[in-house]
Amino acid sequence: MKRAPALIATAVALTLALPATAADPQLIVFDWAGFEEPSLIQDYVAKHGQMPTYSFFGDDDEAFQKVAAGFRPDVAHPCSAKVPSWRAAGLIEPWDVSRIPEFANIAPRFLASDVFVDNGTVWYIPTDYAYTAIAYNADQVPAEDVASLQVFHNPKYAGRISLPDNTDDIWALALLATGVTDWTDITDAQFDAAAAWLRTAHENVRAYWADPSELSQLMASGEILVAWSWNDGVALMRQEGFPVGFNRTPAEGASSWFCGYVNIKDGPGSEDKAYDFINAWLSHGSAAGLLANFGYAHANDAAMATISMDELKAADVDPVDGILLSQTPMSAAQRERMVAEFEKIKAGF
Cβ-contact 233, 7 below 8 angstroms: no
Domains of the chain and any CATH numbers: 8-129+258-314 (3.40.190.10), 130-255+321-346 (3.40.190.10)
Residue type present at position 73: P
Bridge partners (DSSP) of residue 205 are 161
Give the per-residue pLDDT at 17: 35
Quote the CA–CA distance of 263 and 49 in Å, as a whole number. 23
User: What does 100-139 look like in DSSP terms, one character per residue?
Assistant: -GGGGGB-GGGS-STTTEETTEE--EEEEEEEEEEEEETT
Residue that wins the pLDDT comparison between 344 and 19 = 344
pTM score of the predicted model: 0.89
- Alpha carbons 308 and 246: distance in angstroms, whole number: 20
Q: CA distances (Å), 236 to each of 57, 92, 139, 165, 244, in order?
A: 20, 33, 17, 19, 10
- Nearest-angstrom CA–CA distance, 39 and 290: 8
For the stretch 311-323, pLDDT in tens is: 999 999 999 999 9
How many angstroms separate the CA atoms of 325 and 233, rounded? 20
Residue 15, pLDDT score: 35
Q: Is the pLDDT of residue 196 over 80?
A: yes
pLDDT digits (tens, 9 = 90+) for 84-100: 999 999 999 999 999 99
Confidence of residue 333 (pLDDT cuts 50, 70, 90): confident
pLDDT of residue 2: 46
Closest CA to 225 of 139, 329, 111, 301: 139
Find, among 120, 114, 122, 103, the residue nearest to 301 by Cα: 103
Is cis: bond before 99, omega within 30 of 0?
no
DSSP 3-state of 224: coil
In this model, does residue 155 exceed pLDDT 50? yes
Q: Helix or strand or coil: residue 324? A: strand
If pLDDT is split at 50, 70 and 90, which confidence band does 12 have?
very low
User: Which residues pair with residue 255 across a beta bridge?
Assistant: 132, 325
pLDDT at residue 92, as a whole number = 98
Q: How far apart are CA 257 and CA 143, in angstroms?
A: 24
